[in-house]
Chain A
């Protein structure tokens, strides 16, 4: 039997699944959950497409009943690691909708990532994932873009406020190369508030999130080590990011890899809330929109980060805020995480259409999020559907309002 050394370490967890099926299609209004697994809803829906079946597959692979094979890898990679199953699993949750990773007996995302790491070791990584890993090794970003162009988004003539840097702005690859409007909005807002910050170019490399989520752990640790060393060398105690994926990775994965980091990690929405409250950032331009907010999985369920974006939206004058039914820990994933967007692009777009429909159903004109990856996928869905919904990252709205 092929060795599944990472999965073997989590064997007890794998066997703790009762196969009750909460990961299939749970409806529980108390937890804002109406359906659990977006992959299941947009595929043939066999058990192996959602967590119960994946854990059964893991169990049988551990028992040697079935050998790891390319089709098995495909099923294990057909998971956006959104964590909706984990947050509402009757075993893993330590309170409704909240998973305490220190205490839980069943951490589905950890199991999937371990399984993927074994599949990578066995040469069963998906070609698209190997391709972005190669790009990260060569260019320090997954998009095949030259590292030298990482700051090409910077507005001409923009000057970072003078003074000792209060924080590092960790831009992230998607904001640096694909959704550059987020990076521009972020520096615009920080600039308007007079925040002296630093961008770690050329020392900022991919945070490693795409690698960690797809089981490519060796290179992930390498880039993580590089970034941590660079941040520590700077002597700056706060890192702010406008990307949910970078946030989860810097805040949780880096700590798991290296222990105490010696710096704190903040999301831009938290920072902006503080800047407004401290009177450093003025809201000068009222908006006149009806908006809803999509909790990115990496911020919400992965980091229990639900309130700061909503608090920030509440501060924006002229924004009529409406919640979608599936919100906070029950938020329906945009479909792009966990390597799904790169390996199964059409599926990711199809899943994102669910969210756009949901936003329209509550009468929203704007669908806001706090993640460039979510925005990217929502824009693909908007094009596919021909929707008139406006897709914005929250920091862009703040930039317009200030």
Chain B
């Protein structure tokens, strides 16, 4: 059963955004997976404070792909990930 979607999320022109930076484990992964359940088409952009490497196999299992949009962690910035369903 998916978790309730409580993380900040909003619709923008490039897709649905979700910000999990302030969430303690395991909330970031749970919230991202919860958002996936609500999106049929279009991109999801994740704002994270580290690269969620264990999320990638979960995405693949669910038929989602991903690409790293921005990795500014070394400069104290955020990690941004684009997720989309199926192939492009």
Question: Does A associate with B in a complex?
Answer: no
